[in-house]
């Protein structure tokens, strides 16, 4: 059940749509929260709240990655559940997700996401991302493009980051979050645009920049 407090309700909607958040500042009666995109963690908006309900909802949490309540002490026995963690010890988010990356209830049938160790070559990343976009899976396309961004040489990193943001913008548009979609699409255009005359890997940077800006305007008008 969603809380009646506007700040809590907005934060819950954001997280239910697959977004993340992080507390920026907190006092005894005010909190400022950055609303972040899924996975890339790009700040899209900020939520400032002064109500006690929002502060109580946050508790001691500093981000959406923190558990709502502290985990109980682990007791030995056959029923002990070990949380899935990566090689660094960081807990994985193993909840199933739908086709647009929104988390589902544990045990629900979901759409497989891309592997954590994905490291595609540029040509493969572009081809795979395009196919995923054609199949209506922009969230999965962004995972591929994000993997390419993380391994790209410095001169190409902003291009790949812009491509990943474009896919995230499309994801938010498909989820009905037109405000977040417009902001991400405009940011993607700002990053892809400088490559318009010399884009590596034959990326149609000029066309993508124009398309992202046009689509962002449509989101702003029709949102």
DSSP state of 85: B
> Could you give the residue ranges of the DSSP H alpha helices within 67-137?
122-134
Domains of the chain: 6-58 (3.30.160), 122-222 (1.10.3450)
Query: Rounded to whole angstroms, how far apart are CA atoms 123 and 148?
Result: 10
Query: Rounded to whole angstroms, how far apart are CA atoms 104 and 111?
Result: 10
- The reported pTM is 0.66
End-to-end CA distance of the chain: 26
Given the structure tokens 């954590």, which residue do they identify?
Answer: 116
pLDDT value at residue 102: 81
- Residue 5: phi and psi, rounded to 5, are -65, 130
What the block records as the tokens of 217 is 């305007």
DSSP state of 97: B
Strand, coil or helix: 143: helix
pLDDT value at residue 192: 97
Residue 33's DSSP bridge partners are 23, 47
Tell me if 58 sits within 8 A of 32, measured CB to CB. no
Going residue by residue through the chain, which has 223 residues, state the pLDDT in tens, using 9 for 90 and above. 445 788 888 888 777 666 788 888 888 888 999 888 765 677 778 899 888 888 888 888 888 776 443 333 444 444 434 444 444 444 455 678 888 888 788 888 888 888 878 889 999 999 999 999 999 999 999 999 999 998 999 999 999 999 999 999 999 899 888 888 998 999 999 999 999 999 999 999 999 999 999 999 999 898 6
pLDDT value at residue 78: 43
Cβ partners under 8 Å of residue 199, min gap 6: 159, 205
> Could you give the residue ranges of the DSSP H alpha helices within 152-204?
157-175, 178-192
């Amino acid at each position: 059940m969603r809380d009646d407090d506007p700040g809590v309700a907005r934060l819950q909607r954001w997280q239910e749509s697959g977004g993340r958040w992080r507390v920026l500042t907190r006092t005894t009666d005010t909190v400022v929260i950055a609303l972040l995109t899924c996975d890339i963690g790009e700040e899209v908006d900020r939520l400032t709240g002064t109500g006690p309900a929002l502060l109580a909802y946050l508790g001691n949490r500093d981000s959406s990655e923190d558990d709502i309540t502290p985990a109980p002490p682990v007791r030995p026995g056959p029923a002990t559940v070990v949380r899935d963690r990566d090689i660094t010890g960081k807990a994985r988010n193993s909840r199933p997700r739908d086709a647009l990356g929104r988390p589902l209830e544990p045990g629900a049938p979901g759409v497989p996401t891309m592997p954590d160790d994905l490291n595609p070559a540029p040509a493969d990343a572009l081809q795979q991302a395009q196919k995923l976009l054609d199949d209506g899976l922009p969230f999965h396309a962004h995972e591929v493009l994000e993997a390419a961004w993380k391994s790209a040489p410095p001169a190409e990193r902003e291009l790949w980051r812009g491509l990943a943001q474009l896919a995230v913008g499309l994801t938010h548009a498909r989820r009905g979050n037109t405000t977040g979609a417009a902001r991400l699409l405009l940011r993607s255009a700002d990053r892809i645009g400088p490559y318009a005359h010399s884009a590596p890997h034959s990326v149609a940077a000029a066309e993508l920049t124009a398309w992202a800006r046009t689509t962002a305007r449509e989101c702003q008008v029709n949102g």
